Structure 1
Amino acid sequence: MASPAPRYRYGPWHGGDDPLAAPPDLRAAIDELGREVMEGRSPRSALEELLRRGVRGTPGLDELTRRLWQRRSEIQRRHRLDGTLQEVRKLLEAALDAERRALFPDPSDDARFREAQLDALPAGTAAAVTELADYDWRSSEARQAYQRIQDLLGREMLESRFQGIKEAMRNTGPQDVARIREMLTDLNALLAAHARGDADVPRRFEEFMRRHGEFFPEQPQSVAELVDLLAARAAAAQRLLNSMTDEQRAELAQLAQQAFGDAGLAEQLAQLDAQLRGLRPGEDWTGSARFRGQQPMGLGEGAQAMADLAELDALAEQLSQSYPGARLEDIDLEALARQLGGDAAVDARRLAELERQFREQNLLERAPDGSLRLTPKALRRLGETALRQVIDRLRTRRGDRDSERAGAAGEPTGGSRPWQFGDTEPWDTPRTVRNAVLREAGEHPGRRGGRVRIDVADVEVVETEQRSRAAVALCVDTSWSMVQDGRWVPMKRTALALHHLVRTRYRNDALQLITFGRSAGTVDVGELTALEGAWEQGTNLHHALLLAGGHVRRHPDAQPVVLVVTDGEPTAHLEPDGEPVFNYPPMPRTLARTMAEVDALTRLGASITVFMLGEDPRLRAFVDLVARRSGGRVVEPGTDGLGAAVVADYLRTRRRRG
């Protein structure tokens, strides 16, 4: 019986990460991180800078922060805080106009007395509303307008403290006001019991939510969650009041007594605010903001605006990553989506994923001193990129492909590698067929027998190596002029490219990286990549060639290759006691000691290639002398062509002597 065909369901996409979007380009991110490190940043600060700037197709933290501040500025620029007062004033004028229209045609003394009452009302809106609390309205239209004032005040006061109460208050009849009063009474009793630490608080909370859960669409699961929700909203309402003028605050305090025509409601809300302030003193109860727009906001809208401003501030702090132990996973993606839209949350999630991949894919590791550093895996990727750029430049410049044909004229190593475009090595037939069989078995698990089709991805070629070994010493100038004149990063990329070429294609060669400034030293590729430029006078080529000679002597069976990258003539040498001596202009003793090491390397069979950066006539005269004495040569590649020149010279020397 044939197995049933697989069934699929298709439906609309409702937000979140785009399922068809490409993942973050980790290789490009590593290259960018490596460039920052080579320029002198620590890996930690380089990673932070990368996340701040973003990667291709994903804006960084700086752009998200800019949009947060823009959103914050728009809220403050667009709005003003007297919306409730303005609405009350309009309703009051409508009520008085309707009442006067009803009284005007009545010739009775009662009508004239009522008109006198209206004419004697206080000038302030709140005082007038309070004065009319016991007035017996003749006009039904006026009575309804005044009732709308009371209902408006009640709704605004409640909405400023309960974010979801608007949905539960579609009507404001006497029964609704009674439900609200009952909810506030029970809520204050619950919070008082919670503050005392009563044992039955969980039971009372469940009973409270069963009876009044309609007022809390957030559906808190405990008293603590309920307090958190209410305290955040109450603090926003308090910050709203703090942002008003003294006159506005005084009017609202007086008008609060007329909320739903029940002075007790204001007292219950004041009791609730006091309890929340005691339970959550860490909320911002004293802050304020300046609103300078023309669009009026009511108390509910104003409290939401203050809550939005607080949320924007919290998001800005999360995006800054400036607090101890900060991680991008800390960003509240739901809040970010509320403030900036779903795309912003997707961007932040992609940046967090990029940071996580850096750690999980073993691209960054912690050094013994606690700092972050690039792992060998990351350095290999940087070297691969640097070498690829060198190869591309070699193709453009010369049209040859020597750098990719590692050992093509040599002997098989016993290993193989995946075929790449342009490879001319013979196929490793057994491995190629095995790859094809395994691939087809994975793609068609139920099929037996049949023909095996070989795909390009299955092909492996025989890996070869040159018959001779080389002892390579790459001596790079690390004096301050290299940093100052923009040669620091090209020098490091050159070392990375050469290191990667030797480690992957000429694994029998012995490569030694040597840096020289006031003195010289041997470094590994990771140390060189992370090396920071320092103010140091001195170009101690003498010491560097001493170390190069030691490297050559340790490998007597290998052909010596000495490559020197420098932008200045020797200005320092090493004394017999090991102390470096610097002088400018160079002392004859410095030049003599340097040339003695050139002669020593020549006797070992090494020809020295000097890659000269800069146009100093004294440097030109010196390197020409080195080339004549050693049988080497001078190359003037410029910073853009330095890597290609060094790699090409290394390959040329191997072919010539292999």
Structure 2
Amino acid sequence: MQGYRFTDFVPEDTVREGTYDSLWNIYKELLLITAGDPNEALSWLTNLDKQYHISTKNYGIGDFIDDLKKKGYLSENPENGKLKITAKTESDFRKSALEEIFGKLRKSGSGNHKTFVNGQGDEKGVDLRDFQFGDSPDNISMTNSIRNAQINHGTGEFMLTEGDLEVVDNEYRTQTSTVLMIDISHSMILYGEDRITPAKKVAMALSELILKKYKKDTLDVIVFGNDAWQIEIKDLPYLSVGPYHTNTVAGLELAMDILRKRKNHNKQIFMITDGKPTCMKVGVKYYKNSFGLDPKIIKQTLNLAASCRKLNIPITTFMIASDPYLKQFVKEFTAANNGNAYYSDLKGLGNIVFEDFKKNRRKNYRW
């Protein structure tokens, strides 16, 4: 008697979609490593596919490239055929980084960052208080007010007076201006360890968090090597390390200039680095010393840390290294600024930045 053998039915579209997702996740990582060069990233992806057989017979790298163009992630230069990533890809980078780094953390509500201060804010809280002249009628708690009227005047004839009214206090929401400093000196890729890619991911995740959740905040990103300059958030995927020394002085000076123009009371600097200051500009020339901690450079760096302290600008240093002499420098730097310092490996960098971002915003609040 002839029987039947049943197997799982897997539609072809599902196979294509699963293969596409796998290739896309790998390709995004390669794009970050290659500083946003889609052609070099595709070359690496092709080599990986030859070795690990990521694609299938029904869905190859060519199909993947066509899908990226159709979905709007890649555009092609008609003159030379070179590919270029689009604004949609840059946005997807930030979203993916946010999900990867912050996705597993507990959600902390919507809107802006909470403080421990109540007042005429923009979102209702849970605390009740007596009605005051000028309070919005929308904030009156009718249930509690009617209960007060019955307690104060009895239930015979209903009477509601101003003294019976209670209102729900609004929570005042803070606005914070943050400058994120990223070290792009040569040491960020020294000894075969890629430190710049995790730093870029953290920057993209933080920018996406602020753009989507804390829209009243500002985030400025600057990079520092021999000099320091500001970059746009959309340029983060293209960030790469250069043959630079570490001019922390220039980075701090630029960060202070940016924050002086911000009207928010709450201001802070996040600095991601893996080494000591080794460079500063004196006039038109560069003063450099990569051997040990140069007293001249360190003195100027500490002076700037103290200046930030006087301006109520805390600096949080995320040191991707744990050398003893670096710890001593960071300790002195943190003491001069009265800020914070963390020695983090690359894996835990994102969570630490996120938690400190929330903590600093609460702590720095002032009337």
Given the two structures, how large is their TM-score scaled by the length of structure 1?
Answer: 0.42
- What code does the residue aligned with 1:515 have? V
Q: Which residue of 2 aligns with 1:23?
A: 17
SS in 2 for 1:557: coil
Q: Which residue of 2 aligns with 1:468?
A: 174
| Alpha-carbon distance, 1:366 to partner | 5.9
Q: 1:390 aligns with which of 93, 101, 125?
A: 101
Counterpart contact for 2:178–2:267, Cα < 8 Å: yes
How far apart are the structure 2 equivalents of 1:488 and 1:561?
Answer: 22
Q: 2:268 aligns with which of 561, 566, 571?
A: 561
Counterpart contact for 2:97–2:202, Cα < 8 Å: yes
Q: Which residue of 1 aligns with 2:242?
A: 534
Which structure would you say has the larger RCO, counting Cα contacts within 8 Å and 6 or more residues apart? 2
In angstroms, what is the RMSD of aligned CA positions? 3.1
Q: 2:331 aligns with which of 602, 624, 638?
A: 624
SS in 1 for 2:223: strand
Counterpart contact for 1:470–1:558, Cα < 8 Å: yes
Aligned residues: 298
Q: Which residue of 2 aligns with 1:521?
A: 229
Counterpart contact for 1:608–1:632, Cα < 8 Å: yes
- What code does the residue aligned with 2:187 have? S
How far apart are the structure 2 equivalents of 1:372 and 1:527?
Answer: 17
Q: 1:27 to 1:543 in 2, by over 3 A?
A: farther
How far apart are the structure 1 equivalents of 2:24 and 2:359?
Answer: 31
| Alpha-carbon distance, 1:491 to partner | 1.1
Q: Deviations over 1:490-521 (max 9, x none)?
A: 11111111111111111221111111122222
Q: Deviations over 1:186-213 (max 9, x none)?
A: xxxxxxxxxxxxxxxxxxxxxxxxxxxx
Q: 1:473 to 1:50 in 2, by over 3 A?
A: same
1:38 aligns with 2:32: yes
Q: Which residue of 1 aligns with 2:364?
A: 657
How far apart are the structure 2 equivalents of 1:614 and 1:368?
Answer: 45
How far apart are the structure 1 equivalents of 2:294 and 2:77?
Answer: 41
For structure 1, the residue ranges without an aligned partner over 5 or more in a row are: 1-16, 61-342, 413-463
Equivalent runs, 1:29-178 vs 2, <5 Å: 29-40=23-34, 42-54=37-49, 59-60=54-55
Aligned residues with identical type, % of pairs: 23
- What code does the residue aligned with 1:500 have? E
Q: 1:511 to 1:367 in 2, by over 3 A?
A: farther
- What code does the residue aligned with 1:59 have? I
- What code does the residue aligned with 2:59 have? D
Q: 1:505 aligns with which of 201, 206, 213?
A: 213
Q: 1:526 to 1:44 in 2, by over 3 A?
A: farther
Q: 1:544 to 1:52 in 2, by over 3 A?
A: same
Counterpart contact for 2:113–2:361, Cα < 8 Å: no
Q: Which residue of 1 aligns with 2:67?
A: 357
SS in 1 for 2:90: helix
Q: 1:646 to 1:45 in 2, by over 3 A?
A: same
Counterpart contact for 1:516–1:543, Cα < 8 Å: yes
Q: Which residue of 1 aligns with 2:256?
A: 549
SS in 1 for 2:173: coil
How far apart are the structure 2 equivalents of 1:364 and 1:656?
Answer: 43
Q: Deviations over 1:277-318 (max 9, x none)?
A: xxxxxxxxxxxxxxxxxxxxxxxxxxxxxxxxxxxxxxxxxx
The structure carrying a bigger helix percent of its residues is 1
SS in 2 for 1:547: helix
- What code does the residue aligned with 2:301 have? T
Q: Deviations over 1:434-486 (max 9, x none)?
A: xxxxxxxxxxxxxxxxxxxxxxxxxxxxxx99722211111111112211233
- What code does the residue aligned with 2:306 have? D
Counterpart contact for 2:226–2:246, Cα < 8 Å: yes
The structure carrying a bigger strand percent of its residues is 2
Greater mean alpha carbon deviation, residues 480-489 or residues 641-650: 480-489
Counterpart contact for 1:608–1:626, Cα < 8 Å: no
Q: 1:477 to 1:53 in 2, by over 3 A?
A: same
1:582 aligns with 2:288: yes
| Alpha-carbon distance, 1:546 to partner | 0.8
